[in-house]
């Protein structure tokens, strides 16, 4: 269905890999970017499983690139996390990284401990910016992290019943209104600027 709606799954897979492996290193005190990165990882893994491309994202080189984007202190803790994974006879994957980052984000935003990295800056509104991805994460931690950009229900775009009932031109129009790239289904850029088309 995903091929019929928007394009080749391989193109989407490449764009998702680029989204989590390329980018600036996250600063030690940049909690918002860490949370955004956690959402990107969750979205990436969910979609890669859906289209059957988990082997691509779990390549060793991709794991290394993802880890190097984390703050240095988290990289050190990740080494301990990996040791525990290997003791269980498992091989580290992006799913493990995603779970590790998710737990760190949860700890950073735990109201019971306050802001562990408070500085002299005045309080700022904690509204996250629009997400770039096939589906957005809900702000409530008790809700599903998946939210369709087309109909706003809790499922990914490739399973959207609204899209399934429309013609191809209508699907493209809905994707346009949702500000999705026609090539990779991500937000934040157009088809002409899509990184998935660049080698």
Q: What is the pLDDT along the chain (199 residues), one digit of tens a residue?
A: 444 445 578 888 888 899 999 999 999 989 999 999 999 999 999 989 988 888 888 999 999 999 999 999 999 999 999 999 999 999 999 999 999 999 999 988 876 544 444 443 444 555 555 554 444 444 444 444 566 777 777 766 666 777 677 776 777 777 778 777 766 666 666 666 766 555 4
Side-chain-side CA neighbours of 195 within 13 Å: the count stands at 15
Q: Identify which of 117, 132, 72, 68 has the alpha carbon closest to the alpha carbon of residue 97.
A: 68
**Whole-number pLDDT of residue 117:** 46
B/e letters for 60-84, b = 16+ CB within 10 Å, e = fewer, are eebbebbbebbbeebeeebeebbee
**Whole-number pLDDT of residue 199:** 44
The whole-angstrom separation of Cα 143 and Cα 27 is 27
**Whole-number pLDDT of residue 144:** 41
**Whole-number pLDDT of residue 158:** 65
Note the Cα 11 to chain centre separation in Å.
Answer: 16
Helix axes 31-51, 94-108, angle to 10 degrees: 150
Cβ pair 147, 136 in contact under 8 A: yes
Phi, psi of 131 (to 5 degrees): -85, 150
The whole-angstrom separation of Cα 113 and Cα 42 is 25
Tell me the whole-structure pTM to 2 decimals. 0.57
**Whole-number pLDDT of residue 187:** 66
Length of the chain: 199
**Whole-number pLDDT of residue 59:** 92
The whole-angstrom separation of Cα 23 and Cα 39 is 15
**Whole-number pLDDT of residue 96:** 96
Cβ pair 62, 94 in contact under 8 A: yes
Element (H, E) at 44: helix 31-51
């Amino acid at each position: 269905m995903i091929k019929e709606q928007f394009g080749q799954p391989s193109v989407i897979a490449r764009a998702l890999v680029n989204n989590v492996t390329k980018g600036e290193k996250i600063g030690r005190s940049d909690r918002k970017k860490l949370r955004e990165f956690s959402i990107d990882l969750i979205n990436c893994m969910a979609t890669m499983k859906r289209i059957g491309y988990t082997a691509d994202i779990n390549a060793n080189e991709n794991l290394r690139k993802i880890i190097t984007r984390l703050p240095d202190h988290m990289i050190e803790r990740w080494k301990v996390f990996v040791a525990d994974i290997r003791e269980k006879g498992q091989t580290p994957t992006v799913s493990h990284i995603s779970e590790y980052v998710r737990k760190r984000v949860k700890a950073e935003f735990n109201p019971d401990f306050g802001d562990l990295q408070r500085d002299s800056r005045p309080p700022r509104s904690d509204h996250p910016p629009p997400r770039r991805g096939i589906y957005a994460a809900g702000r409530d931690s008790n809700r599903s992290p998946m939210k369709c950009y087309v109909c706003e229900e809790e499922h990914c775009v490739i399973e959207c019943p609204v899209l399934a009932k429309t013609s191809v031109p209508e699907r493209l129009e809905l994707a346009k209104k949702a500000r999705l790239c026609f090539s990779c289904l991500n937000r934040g850029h157009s088809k002409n600027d899509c990184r998935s088309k660049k080698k």
